[in-house]
Each structure stands twice: as C-alpha cells, then as structure tokens.
Structure 1
Amino acid sequence: MIGREDEFNRWYDEIHLDEVLQISGFKSAQRFIVTEQQMQPSQSHSYLAIYELDDDDLEKTLQNLREASWLTMNNALDFATIDVSVVRALGETKFTSL
C-alpha cells in the first residue's frame, strides 16, 4: 500500500518468507525490486517474489499453502494488487560463454 512500503518490506523479509518456508513443499524464496531502468516504460508491480517448490507433488504443496491459516498477514499487503503464477522450467538454465 502506498505510504506503507517500509512496513510491508519489513513484514515480508522478516516474517512472511520464513513462515512460507515452513510449509511442506517450499524449498527456497527470494525477493526482488523493480529497477528504474526498464525496457518498457510502465511496470505493473514494484516487487517480485520467487518461491522454489518441490515438484514431486505440486498440488499438495499448493494445498498446504491454502491451509496455512497460521501465516502472519499484514494489512499493508493489498491483495487486489497481487498476481500469483505457478510456472515450470522448460529446460536447463543457460549461461554465457564469455
């Protein structure tokens, strides 16, 4: 929420990530912030969080998240602005040869 970014970031970094990683099936988590330098002038979001999930039973992992009513939420989080996508890699990570 506008004007509450510090509170949101503190909650996300100090509470939320650690709690989510306690849910069975979650392996890692990392946050990113959108930089000022962009290929497109307008960005719909300011932050990105990437969670690595256990592929063995993806539906069970997502169900575990849905059932985690014990997660500490913060009203600085605006659910109307959140997009959640579950993706799967289409191949191995490629690296530059330079």
Structure 2
Amino acid sequence: MPKYLFFGFTNPVPGREDEYNDWYTETHLPDLLKVPGIVSAQRFKLADHQRSPGPHPYKYLAVYECETDDVRSIVSELKARSGTSEMPISSAMDTERLMYFFEPITDVKSTEA
C-alpha cells in the first residue's frame, strides 16, 4: 500500500504554550489517529541550533505516517472532521499553519549495511 508523510507546522498563541502542547499531545494526536489511513503520529519542537539563523516561522512540527491507496480520502476526512466534535481545534493554536502531504520517490537510505 502506498505510504505518505503528512507534516503539520504550527505555533501556539503567545502565552498559551502549555495549553497548546497539552491539547496537541493529549487530544489532537489521538483524534488524527482515528482518521482511516493515518497510522502513526509524532511531534517535534524546533531545535535551538539551526543551519541558518532564521527567522523560523514555525516552532512545532507534527509528522503523521499514512498508508492509503487514495490520499484524497485522508484529506477529505481531515477537512470534514476539523473543528467538529470529532476533531476540536484548540484556540491555543495560532490560526497560521502549514499542512503538507509528501509521497516517497526513493527507498529509505541509511548508514547501516
């Protein structure tokens, strides 16, 4: 089955970072994992040291692994559920965000033989 990565770049509303992180980890990740085709989720925080000095517009990243024959079905489900009781969106998350699906074009390469 085809695999995709779904990336969500977000920020908290200033002064509400703890609330945002609690909601994202405890509510939002489990809600997304209920969407058919989304098989895993992990969150990341921007590291203090970067290759370029910035500015870096997003402090947080969520990565979701997806397995589906039709990525449009996941997109449709996300749109349908977002902001409903199935997937409430916290007011602690800034409204500016980026969401992208990527599909692989190579096999995974590693340093292991």
> What is the TM-score when the length of structure 1 is the normalising length?
0.91
Task: Note the C-alpha offset of 1:94.
Answer: 1.1
Match of 2:91 in 1: 75
Q: Report the Cα distance in structure 1 between the residues aligned to 2:32 and 2:78, rounded to whole angstroms.
A: 8
**Partner of 2:37 in structure 1?**
25
Corresponding position of 2:9: none
Residues paired across the two proteins, number: 97
Consecutive unaligned residues of structure 1, counting only runs of 5 or more, are none
Structure 2 residue 15 is the aligned partner of structure 1 residue 3: yes
Structure 1 CA distance for aligned equivalents of residues 68 and 53 of structure 2? 35
1:46 is matched with which residue? 59
Query: In the alignment, residue 76 of structure 1 is paired with which amino acid?
Result: A
Residue ranges of structure 2 left out of the alignment (5+ in a row): 1-12
Structure 1 partner of 2:48: 36
Q: Deviations over 1:15-50 (max 9, x none)?
A: 100011001121111111111111011111111111
Instruction: Provide the aligned C-alpha RMSD in A.
Output: 1.4
Match of 2:4 in 1: none
Question: Which of 14, 24, 29 does residue 26 from structure 2 map onto?
Answer: 14
Contact 1:16–1:71 (8 Å) recurs in 2: yes
Bigger helix fraction? 1
